[in-house]
Every structure is written in structure tokens, then in C-alpha cells.
């Protein structure tokens, strides 16, 4: 069970890293997101990394709530992940995470998310703003889809079609679109 749980997190983290590059197929979307992050006083690199981990946490929460395994992550509706990003309390997204992370970047990003969650005030506001960005990005992908209820697997498919991913590889610089 531990292996599958770790694998579930890795697949959710992979989904999170792919989200912005797939959305940024239309470059103006990245520019607008950068404008919003700047207007909110959020560093662009930090904000985009938190958006990635926020998407991963939302997907993970939905998968855990619905008892979906890592192999079945592809079937989760994007709308359910978007709803979790804006509908769940920040601390709820942290429930059920692995004790350790294979990727140090994921561990650091989750620690920053935790810190923001428990500090409250302006940090809580920032998480709310970032959750709206996750919801917006997932909504963009849902609108692009020809399917009535696109699933998480489509993000992996679209990323592969764009040449962004061929599996669980290192996507360290993907969110920068470079």
C-alpha cells in the first residue's frame, strides 16, 4: 500500500508540473497569470511552483477521497480537481500525504504550502488567490477539450502531444515554458 500511495503522490505531482505548460499553449495566458501574480505581490517563480503543488495536492485529495489508485488517476475528472482546489480547506489538502518525498522540490513546496496554511493572514489570502489560479487553469483545459467531462489523463495526453512529457521524467523547468 505504501508503494502505491507514494506512486499516487508522484503521479499527482507530475500532473501539477504539467498543468501550466499545457495551459500556456496560448502564451497570453502565461502573461496574464504573471500580471495577476505580480498584482498580488507574489513572486512569479514561487507562485507558479505553488500553483503546481496546489494542483497536485487537489488531485491527491480527490484521489484519496475516492479511493483511486495511482494507476487510476487518469480517470479523475478535471472538474473534481478544480472543485477541490477551491472547495477544500487548505489543511484538508495536506491530509494523507506521504511521510517522505522522492523529489526534494515537492517536499520543499509542500512545506511552504504548510507554512502558508498555518501562518494565516496574508498567506491564507495568497493561497486563496493561488487556488483560483488552479481552478482557472483546469477550467481552461476543460473548455479546450472536445469531451464533455475531461479527465486528468487528458492532461498527460496533451502534454505528451506537445512534447512536454513521455512519462514520469524530470520536468523541473516545465512550468517556466522554456
Q: Quick one: cell of 136?
A: 482557472
Q: Between 55 and 96, where is the model more confident?
A: 55
Percent of the chain with pLDDT over 70: 90
Distance between CA atoms of 153 and 130, rounded to whole angstroms?
A: 23
Distances (CA, A) of 21 to 83, 88, 136, 168: 21, 25, 14, 15
Whole-model pTM: value is: 0.88
Question: What one-character-per-residue DSSP string does 25-85 give?
Answer: TSHHHHHHHHHHHHHTT--HHHHHHHHHHHHHHHHHHHHHHTT--GGGGGGSBHHHHHHHH
Q: What is the pLDDT at residue 3?
A: 65
Give ∠ CA 166-132-123 in degrees, rounded to 5: 105
Q: Between 100 and 141, where is the model more confident?
A: 141
Domain ranges, ordered by start, for the chain: 2-167
147 CA to centre of own chain = 21
Phi-psi region of 41 (alpha: psi -120 to 50; beta: other; left: phi over 0): left
Instruction: Dump pLDDT digits (tens) for 59-81.
Output: 999 999 999 999 999 999 999 99
Q: In the predicted model, is pLDDT for residue 166 greater than 90?
A: no
Q: Between 147 and 88, where is the model more confident?
A: 88
Amino acid at each position: 500500500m505504501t508503494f502505491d500511495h507514494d506512486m499516487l503522490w508522484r503521479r499527482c505531482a507530475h500532473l501539477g508540473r504539467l498543468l501550466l505548460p499545457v495551459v500556456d499553449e496560448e502564451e497570453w495566458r502565461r502573461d496574464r497569470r504573471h500580471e495577476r501574480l505580480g498584482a498580488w505581490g507574489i513572486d512569479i517563480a514561487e507562485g507558479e511552483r505553488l500553483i503546481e503543488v496546489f494542483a497536485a495536492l487537489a488531485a491527491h485529495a480527490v484521489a484519496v477521497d475516492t479511493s483511486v489508485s495511482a494507476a487510476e488517476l487518469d480517470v479523475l475528472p478535471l472538474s473534481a480537481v478544480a472543485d477541490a482546489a477551491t472547495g477544500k480547506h487548505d489543511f484538508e489538502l495536506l491530509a494523507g500525504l506521504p511521510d517522505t518525498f522522492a523529489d526534494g522540490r515537492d517536499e520543499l513546496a509542500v512545506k511552504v504550502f504548510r507554512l502558508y496554511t498555518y501562518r494565516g493572514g496574508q498567506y491564507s489570502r495568497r493561497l486563496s488567490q493561488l487556488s483560483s489560479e488552479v481552478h482557472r487553469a483546469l477550467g481552461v483545459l476543460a473548455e479546450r477539450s472536445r469531451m464533455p467531462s475531461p479527465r486528468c489523463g487528458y492532461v498527460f495526453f496533451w502534454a505528451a502531444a506537445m512534447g512536454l512529457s513521455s512519462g514520469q521524467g524530470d520536468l523541473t523547468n516545465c512550468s517556466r515554458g522554456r
